[in-house]
Structure 1
Amino acid sequence: MNRQGSVSPGTAAPAEERSCSWMKPWLFLVSALAIKTALVTVYLVAPFSRKGDQPTALQQAFTEWRCISAEPQGKERGWMCCPKGWKRFQQSCYYISDDKMSWAESVQNCTGMGSHLVVINSKAEQVFLSKELQASSRGPNFYIGLRAEKVGEWHWVDQTPFNVSAAFWRKGEPTKIDAEKCVVIHSPEAPPNNWNDIRCDHHHRVCEAAAVTV
């Protein structure tokens, strides 16, 4: 006769013991997923282009990157990266300048970093940028990539068609004054409606580039 609690060869283990053995692989997987979830942000110091890839102008301009884990969805690449110090929103990276430049200098500066003056495509993007600019305390006015060659004829720097229904002018703006052909986000104004047309003098700027996936 077997002692109480022991199991003779060929006899099934008690239900409690079978349950614990079955749970061990699942406990391991849950633990692994928890660790992976915790490591969603990494810093890279490399252009990280793969063999055969042509690095973008943005990748060539920067060596330090902040990467966020993205949903792979069956894709080979699962990290979304922006240059260190840039802000990320959805699929884009944004640079908020500390210094001031004219409109033409701002365009050149953004281009030199592999980006362009920001092109705002949605209310969500507009609200995100407005809050970031308010928090920056750098100044009241930040160039965006919108300019008029002629009064009232607005054009984005990347040739995106100007959509009147997706414009975020302050009340009373644009003024349609011939000398005021450049557009800024006026950060003290509550979002979303805080665009001003303004003289193309020296102001801060926001540059935008597509996030790099690796």
Structure 2
Amino acid sequence: MTSEVTYAEVRFKNGPSSAEPKASSGSETPLSRFQKCKPWFPWVVSGFLMLLSIILLVVIIVILKGSPKKGFLKSQFQKSTQWNCLLESPEGKEPRLSCCMGDLEQFGSSCYYFSKDRSTWNKSRAECRKKGLDLVIINSEAEQVFLTNHTQNSQVEKFCIGLTNQMGTNQWRWVDQTPLDPMLMFWRSKEPSNDDENCVVMHIGKGSKMKNNWNDVQCLVDEHHYVCETNTEFFSI
């Protein structure tokens, strides 16, 4: 008996075997740098920025607290960054610094500017006031001696001071309208001398340190050097 062979047509579809993993249907998006950061990283950054802000604020406060007061002096003196200070320890009070800007000389509680240019008494006062000062007012014998010694060293003979005769009435007053104290007058011998000389200078003779050196001059004609004055500034330390 003849055996029959049956052929069956078997067709295989192209595709992955069941053992192989299936490919993803879509492409994956890579994580950004910030998405890879630890969860606590933003808090660290915020804390650092806050600390930096606090430090900057403290520095600004310290600088403003220790800086000189605004409006102390005008004109070119405001541009000065140098201060000359003396340490004071008032009885019963905290120590403090008594300061003048670097362009000024200090004596007691005043700062002085000794001019290098010459002008009439009226213009001299105007120059002082442009700088936020005024012509010097002499309140004590010690101040007169200080000014005499300082001007003597400058080799300049005459300096305008802030004393004038009121309208030729022989009523001498300082620029703040304070009357001249009879106990604090330092006229040279035979001065004041002329009715038409209503302004005062310190007349420093060469080689002389006499404290009595005031001399009356014409306010609008004679040109001399001049001394300006202002109060010192005090700063706590």
Amino acid in structure 2 at the alignment position of 1:182: C
Amino acid in structure 1 at the alignment position of 2:224: H
Aligned to 2:152: 134
Give the TM-score of the pair, scaled to structure 1. 0.70
| Contact 1:49-1:55 within 8 A present in 2 as well | no
Q: Quickly say closer, same or farther: Cα 1:55–1:77, change in 2 above 3 A.
A: farther
Aligned to 2:224: 203
Aligned to 2:160: 143
Match of 1:143, SS? strand
100-109 vs 202-211, which moves further: 100-109
Aligned to 2:35: none
CA offsets per residue over residues 76-108 of structure 1, 9 Å max, x none?
A: 561111111321111111111110011111111
Aligned to 1:194: 213
CA offsets per residue over residues 140-196 of structure 1, 9 Å max, x none?
A: 110000011333121110122211221100010011x22211100011143211100
1:158-173 map, 5 Å: 158-173=176-191
Deviation, structure 1 residue 48: 7.1
Aligned to 1:107: 125
Give the number of aligned pairs.
166
Match of 2:166, SS? strand
Identify the match of residue 57 of structure 1 among 73, 88, 100: 73
Distance 1:65 1:88 in 2: 11
Structure 2 unaligned regions, length at least 5: 1-62
1:212 is the counterpart of 2:233? yes
Deviation, structure 1 residue 49: 6.7
Structure 1 unaligned regions, length at least 5: 1-46
Distance 1:48 1:80 in 2: 18
Aligned to 1:96: 114
Amino acid in structure 1 at the alignment position of 2:200: V
Distance 1:100 1:49 in 2: 39
Amino acid in structure 2 at the alignment position of 1:194: N
CA offsets per residue over residues 195-214 of structure 1, 9 Å max, x none?
A: 00012221100001101111
Deviation, structure 1 residue 74: 5.1
Give the TM-score of the pair, scaled to structure 2. 0.63
| Contact 1:169-1:195 within 8 A present in 2 as well | yes
Q: Return structure 1 stretches of 4+ with deviation > 2 angstroms.
A: 47-51, 53-64, 72-77
Distance 1:208 1:48 in 2: 26
Deviation, structure 1 residue 65: 1.5
Distance 1:206 1:154 in 2: 18
Aligned to 2:200: 183
Aligned to 2:21: none
Larger Rg: 2
Distance 1:143 1:129 in 2: 12
Structure with greater strand percent: 1
Q: Quickly say closer, same or farther: Cα 1:55–1:186, change in 2 above 3 A.
A: same
